[in-house]
Amino acid sequence: MRLPLRRISSSLSPARLACGLGMAVATSAGAIAQIQVPLPQVIGEADMQIKASKPADAVVLLDMVLARVDKGEALPAGVNLPNVQLLTANTYFQLQNFAKAEEIAAKLLTKQSTAQIAADARLVLGLSLALQKKFAEAVPVFQALEESTTYRDKALMYRSMAAQQANQFDVAIDALNRLLASAPRDADWADSALTLIALQLQQKNLEAARRGLELLRGNLNTVDNLAGLNVLSLQLGDTLLAANDLSGALTAYRTVLPRAELLRLQKQRTARMEANLARQKSLSRGSASVTEADTVRRVEARIKATKTALDEIAKRGDYDATLFYRLGHTFLLRGGAWESAIVLERLLKEFPQCQEREQASLELVRAYADSGRVDRMRTALDDFMRNIPDSKLLPQALYVAAQTAFDRGRADLQLEFLEVGVNRFPDAELTEFMVLMQTNAHFAGGRFEEARTSADHYITKYPQGRFAEDATYLKAMATLVLGRAADA
């Protein structure tokens, strides 16, 4: 006949503890009596303490049970030792006594048990090792856990985390690739995708990092840490641009949100995370489940990572300006002149004093030149000269504008731009080119006196110039046409 379970007070006195362990206790009459609470009651009380969210009281009782079993006492019917060991390890884990949780879980795995209990024990063991920073030891534990259909996805995720911390980057990348291929596309999946992109970038596997970002772009609704995605996308875009992967760089930059839009959406995602955290904490209350405790820990870590990324973005006063410049610059390099012009116009309108304004002004002239919009090009050039009259980039803008005007049959504009360039920037490197271009333009337009004067200017200023022979020839031809053969 089974004994009824009697509740033991949650405030356990030394005498009660001794009774639980089966120790001798002095009675009021001075006699020595052996009093021992039956194991079913101890186990039942431990369960009640767990449900009451009192793991510290529960673990004392569970330790009593294991100690008495070690001394040869039999567990009640329906209760087996692996289950008690697992519950004890889980409870120590909940108390963040990871060394004790590791000890009990490791001992459990040396004994025969069911496949599910073994998987549960490996999960406790792997997480306990990782949380003690024993990352290299945790990696093979999580790898063995991948055999469990229940924990396969978590095992891959945890193995990647442990391997990354153990500097086993190839192992981490392998685990993440396998995880992303099979796991449900949720917030954990998105976090793993972000981690994989960062790892591939760190290892200079740029093509793989680019593929990872493209995969994540198709599942942006799963990303809670949008701020982290923005920071990572900027880093990836800069690296791909430096590697001349213009398409990849453009994809990365187009993933980045302007500050106001980012803050609006991140506020929504953070509220979603906080609601999820409250829900997970409610579910884990009164439970010794390691998975529930770790879910809470991961959501908290995600919220913290988001705040860190937002803090980094907040430090960048030029965040939007640099984003627009990167986009405009990359569009231009890739041949998207019109798209580049639209972005650069917005940059110069919204951030007229930004650090990139000189380069952006030059590239806006180039963008309109490349798209064949001569009138817009002239307006952009006029704005550039008015807003930054002493810019060292103006000679480049004038040269580009003059060349484009010639290509579009606008000799009048070409000569106008060249005259400004030659007169305002006489010592610029490009002035030599512009003087010769001016000479050619006058000659082609039948203005031979002006052509002769311009050629003479070149010969006088650049006697050893790279185009001295051309200038001498043009001067002679202009002189001949003017009927001054003797001077030629």
Assess whether 400 and 435 both reside in one domain: no
- Alpha-carbon distance of 345 to 343, in angstroms, equals 5
**Position 404 in a domain:** yes
CATH number assigned to the domain comprising residue 330: 1.25.40.10
**Position 70 in a domain:** no
**Position 155 in a domain:** no
Q: Which of 261, 262, 255, 264 lies closest to 220, judged by CA? A: 255
The domain in which residue 456 lies consists of 429-488
- Which of 144-148, 163-167, 251-255, 277-281 shows the lowest per-residue confidence on average (mean pLDDT)? 277-281
CA distances for 364 relative to 100, 237, 242, 249, 334, angstroms: 65, 21, 21, 19, 14
Q: Residue 487: its pLDDT value, please?
A: 60
Mean of per-residue pLDDT scores for the chain: 90
Looking at 413, 446, 469, which one is the last position of a domain? 413
**Position 459 in a domain:** yes
**Position 10 in a domain:** no
Question: Looking at the whole model, is its pTM more than 0.85?
Answer: no
Q: How many residues does the chain have?
A: 488
Could you give the number of structural domains in the chain? 2
C-alpha 129: how far from its chain's center?
27
Q: Which of 287, 210, 292, 311 lies closest to 255, judged by CA? A: 210
DSSP run (H or E) holding 25? strand 24-26
Looking at 413, 437, 455, which one is the last position of a domain? 413
Would you place residue 4 in the very low, low, confident or very high pLDDT band (cuts 50, 70, 90)?
A: very low
Assess whether 402 and 464 both reside in one domain: no
Q: Residue 11: its pLDDT value, please?
A: 39
Mean pLDDT of 349-367: 96
Q: Which of 191, 205, 206 lies closest to 160, judged by CA? A: 191
Selected residue with higher pLDDT from 112 and 354: 354
- The neighbour count for residue 488, using CB atoms within 10 Å, is 14
Largest CA-CA distance found in the chain, in angstroms, rounded: 145
- The neighbour count for residue 33, using CB atoms within 10 Å, is 10
**Position 78 in a domain:** no
pLDDT one-digit tens code per residue, 128-156: 999 999 999 999 999 999 999 999 999 99
**Position 264 in a domain:** no
278: left (phi over 0), alpha (psi -120 to 50) or beta: alpha
Q: How many CA atoms lie within 13 A of 487 on its CB side?
A: 12
Looking at 360, 385, 413, which one is the last position of a domain? 413
Q: Residue 32: its pLDDT value, please?
A: 45
pLDDT one-digit tens code per residue, 380-405: 999 999 999 999 999 999 999 999 99
- Which of 88-102, 282-296, 314-328, 468-482 shows the lowest per-residue confidence on average (mean pLDDT)? 282-296
For residue 463, give both structure tokens: 């006697």
Assess whether 334 and 406 both reside in one domain: yes
Assess whether 404 and 436 both reside in one domain: no
CB 468 within 8 Å of CB 462 = yes
Q: Residue 77: its pLDDT value, please?
A: 87
pLDDT at 344 over 90: yes
Assess whether 463 and 393 both reside in one domain: no
**Position 409 in a domain:** yes
- The neighbour count for residue 272, using CB atoms within 10 Å, is 12
Selected residue with higher pLDDT from 484 and 151: 151
CB 246 within 8 Å of CB 215 = no
Assess whether 408 and 434 both reside in one domain: no
Would you place residue 486 in the very low, low, confident or very high pLDDT band (cuts 50, 70, 90)?
A: low
DSSP run (H or E) holding 32? strand 32-34
Assess whether 403 and 472 both reside in one domain: no
Assess whether 402 and 467 both reside in one domain: no
Assess whether 326 and 400 both reside in one domain: yes
Selected residue with higher pLDDT from 288 and 60: 60
Q: Residue 349: its pLDDT value, please?
A: 96
Assess whether 433 and 355 both reside in one domain: no
Selected residue with higher pLDDT from 280 and 377: 377
Q: Residue 485: its pLDDT value, please?
A: 61
For residue 99, give both structure tokens: 């060394």
- The neighbour count for residue 464, using CB atoms within 10 Å, is 5
Angle between helices 246-255 and 206-217 (to 10 degrees): 40
Would you place residue 113 in the very low, low, confident or very high pLDDT band (cuts 50, 70, 90)?
A: confident
